[in-house]
């Protein structure tokens, strides 16, 4: 599964530019411990067919749901069944999005302890996960825009840590993934495979990331280099305004 990630951008490029889109700027500060049920930036095609960045709550609430609390359980969607599950299938076909980030966290169980790791791409500061989104309207007129992240089988880098990993969309396929004309999601299954392990890196990080109250740059720094996997240690994260 995917349950935490960091998005802090860099000094040279905003995430929208790194994702090869010309989106509208939105006010979103550097963050290092993003979690479900928070409003977070995603790249979407809006009703007018325009590419833009939008804030949506992480935890998908299907349009037909009677209770929006269901979103707390739907922050991830399995790639193997996303086309079939009632909560996800219409969003999979018609409402796909990209979730920008600098890296994500996963936990490895070591006896009675769970060691957190930080995963990112080599040589690419900002990348995107495959997401789906929906819009829920309540009987009182309330509207909620929400999203979920797709997950798949792990690659060889992720497998020692967890049995699932988020679907990472190659930069060359961003527009293909978002294409609003593809209302059946035809041909997108090939993008749901595990991302190449040799293009990723990971290292253990502090257990402070376990608490969402902690949200600072130190969370993504290596803690215990001897346990590092992926053979590349991180550089200190660059500070800068996002989006």
Tokens of 162: 């967890």
Residue 26: which of 49, 54, 46 has the closest Cα? 54
Q: Does residue 26 fall inside a structural domain?
A: yes
pLDDT in tens, 149-177: 999 999 999 999 999 999 999 999 999 99
Q: Does residue 238 fall inside a structural domain?
A: no
pTM: 0.88
Residue 53: which of 15, 91, 88 has the closest Cα? 15
Q: Which of 2, 24, 80, 125 is catalytic?
A: 2
Q: Does residue 233 fall inside a structural domain?
A: no
- Report, as an integer, the average pLDDT of 68-94: 95
Confidence grade of residue 111 (pLDDT, cut at 50, 70, 90): confident
Q: Does residue 25 fall inside a structural domain?
A: yes
Structural domain span for residue 84: 5-227
Q: Does residue 138 fall inside a structural domain?
A: yes
Q: Which of 106, 142, 199, 235 is catalytic?
A: 106
Active site residue 97: no
Question: What's the pLDDT at 125?
Answer: 83
CATH number for the domain harbouring residue 222: 3.90.1680.10
Q: Does residue 150 fall inside a structural domain?
A: yes
Least confident of 13-17, 76-80, 85-89, 144-148: 13-17
Q: Which strands, in side-by-side order, build the sheet including 200-204?
A: 31-34, 5-7, 103-110, 113-121, 200-204
CA geometry: angle 191, 84, 159, nearest 5 deg? 45
Number of domains in the chain: 1
CB 220, CB 237: distance < 8 Å: yes
Question: What's the pLDDT at 160?
Answer: 95
Q: Does residue 12 fall inside a structural domain?
A: yes
Say yes or no to pLDDT of 24 above 60: no
Q: Does residue 109 fall inside a structural domain?
A: yes
- Report, as an integer, the average pLDDT of 4-26: 62
Active site residue 106: yes
């Amino acid at each position: 599964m995917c349950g935490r990630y960091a998005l802090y951008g860099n000094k040279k490029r905003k995430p929208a530019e790194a994702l090869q889109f010309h989106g509208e700027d939105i006010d979103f500060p550097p963050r290092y411990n993003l979690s479900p049920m928070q409003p977070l930036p995603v790249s979407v095609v809006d009703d007018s067919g325009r590419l833009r960045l939008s804030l949506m709550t992480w935890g998908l609430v299907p349009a037909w749901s009677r209770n929006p609390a269901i979103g707390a359980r739907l922050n991830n969607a399995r790639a193997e069944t996303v086309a079939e599950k009632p909560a996800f299938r219409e969003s999979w076909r018609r409402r796909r999005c990209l979730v920008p980030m600098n890296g994500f966290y996963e936990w490895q169980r070591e006896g009675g302890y769970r060691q957190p790791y930080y995963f990112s791409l080599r040589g690419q500061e900002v990348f995107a996960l495959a997401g789906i989104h929906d819009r829920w309207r309540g009987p009182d007129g309330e509207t909620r825009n929400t999203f979920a992240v797709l997950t798949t089988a792990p690659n060889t880098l992720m497998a020692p840590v967890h049995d699932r990993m988020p679907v990472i969309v190659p930069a060359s396929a961003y527009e293909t993934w978002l294409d609003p004309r593809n209302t059946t999601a035809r041909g997108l299954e090939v993008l749901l495979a595990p991302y190449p392990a040799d293009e990723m890196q990971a290292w253990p990080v502090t257990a402070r990331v376990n608490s969402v109250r902690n949200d600072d740059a130190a969370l993504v720094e290596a803690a215990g280099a001897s346990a590092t996997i992926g053979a590349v240690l991180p550089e200190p994260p660059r500070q800068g305004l996002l989006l």
